[in-house]
Structures are given as C-alpha cells and as structure tokens.
Structure 1
Amino acid sequence: MPVTALVSAKSCGVTASALALTLASKRPSLLAECDPAGGTLRAGFLNADATAGFGLYHLAAAQRTGPEALSNAFVNHLWPLDEAGHRKLLPGLTDPAQAAALERTWPRLSDVLHVLADQAGYDVFIDAGRLALNAGHLHAQLTPAPLLHQADLVLLVVRGNEQSLALARHVIEPLRTELRERGSGPDALGLLLIEDGPYRTHQVSDALKTPVLGALPWDTATAQYFTTGGRPPRGHARSPLLRHARTAAEQIEAAVSRRRIQQEYPARPANPQLAGVLQRLAEQRRGNRG
C-alpha cells in the first residue's frame, strides 16, 4: 500500500486533507503528523484527549537506543481514530523546538512506515507541513526530508486560486529537483487540489506543469471540525470532504500502482533506426494524402 506525504508552500489545509484521506481509506490507515512546526490534531480533533506523553517526540529517545526500541515506541505511541482501531494517528510535536532532536529519527521512522504499508497493508499518510528550503534543498531541520525522499508519492497541496498557485510556483521546481537528486524520482511529485477558487483541475495542472492526482471540495464545516475539534457537524461521515477523499485515496493508490509498473518495466530506449523508419512512413502517408 502507498506511503503518501502531503506538503504545502504555505498553510493550505494539509492537516485536514491528510486526516480526511486517513479516515476515508477503505483499508487500515495511519496518519503520521510529522510537521516540524508542531502538530495541531492533539489539541484540535482529539480535543486534548491525547496528552504530551503520546506522540512523535518520544521516538527520538527510542531511536537512540536502537531500531527495535524505535519500533516498539512507534506502536506504543499510536492513538486510535475510530472505535475499531482501524485508523490510527501518530500525534505530532507539542513544541517546534523538539524538531531538532528528530533529524536522525526521520530515516528510521520512514523505514517503519514503509514496513507498515508493505507488510501490514496500511495506507500511510504523512503530514509533512510547510516546505522549508535552504540553498535550493529541503531544510534538514525544518522539513522531514527523508520522509519525502522515500515516499511513494509527494503531494503538494494547493488551492484553486491565484495566490496559492503563485506560492506553489516558487517551491515546485526545487521540490522536483530534490526528488530527482535525493528521492525516488521527480515523477513522485503530484498535486492535491483544494477546490477553493476559480481554477479547475486541468488549469492547475497546466499552470504548475504537474499532474493533479486528487481533488477535495472546499467543505468548511468538516475541515474546521478536523482542525479545531469540538462537536462534529451533523452527518460529517457523509460530508462532501470525506466522500471525495475516498475517491482521492483510490486515485492515489492507482497513481502509485502505475508508477511501480513503470519502474519495474521501464520504457525501451529509443532506437534511431526505428525512429527513421517511422519518420519515412509518416512522410509517405502525407505524400499519399497530397
């Protein structure tokens, strides 16, 4: 199953989108809240039920002990998002100052997330927060770079308005280059569109020269509940956000499957002689029509 990282150029609804995808998945799913700027679901969606004794920061201390300790700590610090326990959350940092301690933890955590996806059949979503660049590359402390490098897909969350697209243009090429040089390839990059604004899917894809792999509606009531908590809006389980998130999750899975097939069966290298044959045949057809 895919490991999908969600990021943004600026606050664009990454957390609400990642939570919607996690809750809408048709399989067991996990949301890892890995924004170095701090997590918001603990105080919001969870209504402060999960104390600071749970979450991402505690994995750093476990990682210093060894890989097995990290794996055990990971399991012990997951919070259920439903009564059956099929949807789980790794709560994020309570203080951005904690992010520096995680620089060596990110690669090991990435390994754990991929084991969960590949061997346990989980859909894994990573809330990686806002992109931070340093000299054209992902900042080592202000972004969980190894998680993005190893993800099956990296989705840049954008809104369908000019302001969001303008901000995305500044980060999309550095991010594409980062994935080419240090990640699994530039084709790992896609867009998740929040339909807030006049631009539709094809227009956003054309503007940023990147495929839109999923789209979510501008559902303010459900998104606010996901980010700030409180009493759920009536019928939120059938809300437009969750209904479209189910479709988006399926589209993400399909995109990962296509990418894996392309990696396993790469296109044949171009043959100059065959290209010449095709060119001459095309010229003949044009001549016959003339």
Structure 2
Amino acid sequence: MPVTALVSAKSCGVTASALALTLASKRLSLLAECDPAGGTIRAGFLQGHVTAGYGLYHLAKAERTSPDALANAFANHLWPLDEAGHRKLLAGLTDPAQAAALGRTWPALSEVLHVLAEEAGYDVFIDAGRIALEAGSLHTTLTPAPVIHQADLVLLVVRGTEQSLTLARHVIGPLRAELAEYGSGADALALLLIKDGPRRAHQVAEALETPVLAALPWDPDTANYLTNAGRPPRGYGRSPLLRHARTATEQFEAAASRRSIQQQYPPRSANPQLAGVLQRLTEKAGGVRG
C-alpha cells in the first residue's frame, strides 16, 4: 500500500482531508500527524482524550537509543480512531517548539511508515502541513522534508479558487525539484482538489501544470466534524466527503502501483535499439496508410 503525504501552500484542509482518507479507507490505515506547526487532531476530533504522553515527540528520544527502541515507541504511541483499532493515529506535536528535536527522527520514522505500508498492508497518510521554503528549498525545521521526499505520492491540497491556485504556484516548482533530487521523482507530485470554488479539475490541472489525482467534495458539515468533533452530522457514514475519500484511496493505490512498475521496468522505447525498431515500424505503417 502507498505512503501518501499531504501538504498545502496555506491552510487548505490538509488535516480534515487526511483524516477523511484514513477513516474511509477499506484497508488498515494510519495517519501520521507530522506537521511541525503542531497537531490539531487530539484537541479537535479526539476532544482532548489523547494526552501529551502520546505522540510524535516521544519518538525523538527513542530514535536516539536504537532502531528497535524507535519501532517499539512507534507502536506504543499509536491511538485507535475506531473501536476495532483498524484505523490508527500517530498524534502530532503539542508545541511547535518541539519540531527542532525531530531533525534526526524524520528519516527513521519514514522507514517505519514504509515498512508498515509494504509489509503490513496499511494505507499510510502523512499530514505534513504547510510547505515552508528557505532559499527555494524545503525548510529543514518547518517542514518534515525527509518524509515528504520518501513518500510514494505527494499531494498538494488545493481548492478551486484563484487565491488557492496563486499560492500553490509558488511551491510547486520547489516541491517538484526536491522530489526529483531527493525523492523518487518529480512525478510523485500531484494535486488533491477540494471542490470549493469555480475552477474544475481540468482547469486546476492546466493552471498548475500538475495532474489532479483525486477530488473531494466541498462538504462543510463533515469537514467541521472532523476538525472540531461534537455531534456527527446526519448521515455522516454516507457523507459525500467520506464516500469520495474512499474512492480516492483506491486511486492513490493505483497511481502508486503504476509508478512502482514504471520505475522497475522503464519504457521499452528507452532502449535505443528498440526505439529504432519502433520508428521503422511507424514509418512502414505510415506508408501502408498512404
């Protein structure tokens, strides 16, 4: 299963989208709240039931001990999001000042997340928060750069508004360059569209020169519940947001599988000899049609 990182140019519904995807997945799923600006799910959706004794910050100390200690700490700091425990949360930081301590932890955490996805079959979603740049590159403290670099898919969450697209334009180039240099390739980057605003998916893709991999409906009642909890809206389990989120997880898996196959088996036309054969066959076909 893929490891999918969600990011934004500005607050754009990343956390609510990541939570919806995690809750809607048909498979085992995990949400890692890795936003260095701090996590909001424990105080929002979970209404403070998760204390500061659980969560991301505690992995930093464990990582400095040993890989085994990190793996054990990771398992011990997951919080169930449903009664069956099929959907889990690694709660985020309670204080943004804690982010500086995670510089060494991000790469090791990324490896753990990939093991969970590849060997245990989890859909893994990363709330990586707002993109922060420094000299045209991902800021090393204000973004969890290693988990973004190593993700199978990196989804920039945008809305169909001119304001959202204008902000997104400034981060797409640096993101694409970082993934090309440090990640699995620039084509790991795609868009997750929240259908709020006049721009349709094909217009957003054209404006940002980046494919829209999936779209989620503008569903303020469900999004508000995922953000602030309280009483679930009527028909919550069948809400447009969760139904489309379930479909989106399937689209992510298919896209990640295609990328994996392409990386293992490059196009045959990349072989110069085969490219020559292809050219000759094309020329002959053209002659027959003529």
Note the C-alpha offset of 1:195. 0.2
Note the C-alpha offset of 1:233. 1.3
Structure 1 unaligned segments of length 5 or more: list them: none
Deviating 4+ runs (over 2 angstroms): 270-286
Q: Does 1:81 align with 2:81?
A: yes
Q: Does 1:277 align with 2:280?
A: yes
What residue in structure 1 maps to residue 224 of structure 2?
224
Whether the 8 Å CA contact 1:44–1:230 is kept in 2: the answer is: no
Moved more, 267-276 or 190-199: 267-276
Note the C-alpha offset of 1:207. 1.1
Whether the 8 Å CA contact 1:8–1:156 is kept in 2: the answer is: yes
Amino acid at match of 1:225: Y
**Residues 36-79 of structure 1: per-residue CA shift (max 9 Å, x gap):** 00000010000000011110001011111111111111011111
In structure 1, what is the Cα distance between the partners aligned to 2:154 and 2:81?
23
Matches within 5 A, 1:199-218: 199-218=199-218
What residue in structure 1 maps to residue 255 of structure 2?
255
Note the C-alpha offset of 1:120. 0.7
Amino acid at match of 2:125: F
Please provide the CA RMSD for this pair.
1.4
What residue in structure 2 maps to residue 66 of structure 1?
66
Matches within 5 A, 1:9-20: 9-20=9-20
In structure 2, what is the Cα distance between the partners aligned to 1:90 and 1:140?
21
Q: How many matched pairs? A: 287
Q: Does 1:28 align with 2:28?
A: yes
Amino acid at match of 1:260: S
Q: Does 1:238 align with 2:217?
A: no
Structure 2 unaligned segments of length 5 or more: list them: none
Whether the 8 Å CA contact 1:26–1:246 is kept in 2: the answer is: yes
In structure 2, what is the Cα distance between the partners aligned to 1:121 and 1:275?
39
Q: TM-score, normalised by structure 1?
A: 0.96
In structure 1, what is the Cα distance between the partners aligned to 2:145 and 2:69?
22
Q: TM-score, normalised by structure 2?
A: 0.96
Fraction of identical pairs, as percent: 75
Moved more, 266-275 or 108-117: 266-275
Whether the 8 Å CA contact 1:33–1:127 is kept in 2: the answer is: yes
In structure 1, what is the Cα distance between the partners aligned to 2:101 and 2:73?
16
What residue in structure 1 maps to residue 51 of structure 2?
51
